[in-house]
Amino acid sequence: MDYFHLSAGQDHIGQISSLGLAYLGDGVYELMVRAYLCLHGKATNKGLHRAALDYVAAPAQARRIQKILPVLTEEERQVFRRGRNSHTAAVPKGASVAQYHAATALEALFGYLYLRGETERLNELFTLMMEE
């Protein structure tokens, strides 16, 4: 199996919990943020780590989500809603419940798209989110 170029079927993905998708999507999103930062001139490890926090923390993700909500397909909206409505054990310090649920929804969507092999769509949504 090629874990960089996946194309899992809907039946298989449907068996994965929303939190499972969010777990995977968290890694996908963080990898994309790290690549973005490296390609945009953040040179030191300390600088990279601090800069990454400005993108991967739940409040930052919740703000950026607003940029992509209008362009989500109905299928993507369903995955997003499923992720947002999942029951999480705890909310991290510095984030509201709403922000954390929105971030979980984003991560579930990114996990879903990654498993589907929809890397072009991931790039399109990520690019929209990163626009200032």
- Here the CATH number for the domain that contains residue 106 is 1.10.1520.10
Rounded to an integer, the average pLDDT of 106-130 is 96
Question: CA 81, CA 71: separation in Å to the nearest integer?
Answer: 15
In a domain, 45, yes or no: yes
In a domain, 32, yes or no: yes
Tally of domains within the chain:
1
Question: CA 27, CA 74: separation in Å to the nearest integer?
Answer: 24
35-85 pLDDT tens trace: 999 888 766 777 787 888 888 999 999 999 999 999 999 999 999 999 999
Out of 9-23, 37-51, 71-85, 118-132, least confident range: 37-51
In a domain, 65, yes or no: yes
In a domain, 118, yes or no: yes
In a domain, 1, yes or no: no
Query: Catalytic amino acids?
Result: 26
- Expressed as residue numbers, the domain containing 23 is 10-130
- The pLDDT value recorded for residue 42 is 66
Does residue 88 carry a pLDDT above 90?
no
In a domain, 3, yes or no: no
- The pLDDT value recorded for residue 52 is 86
In a domain, 4, yes or no: no
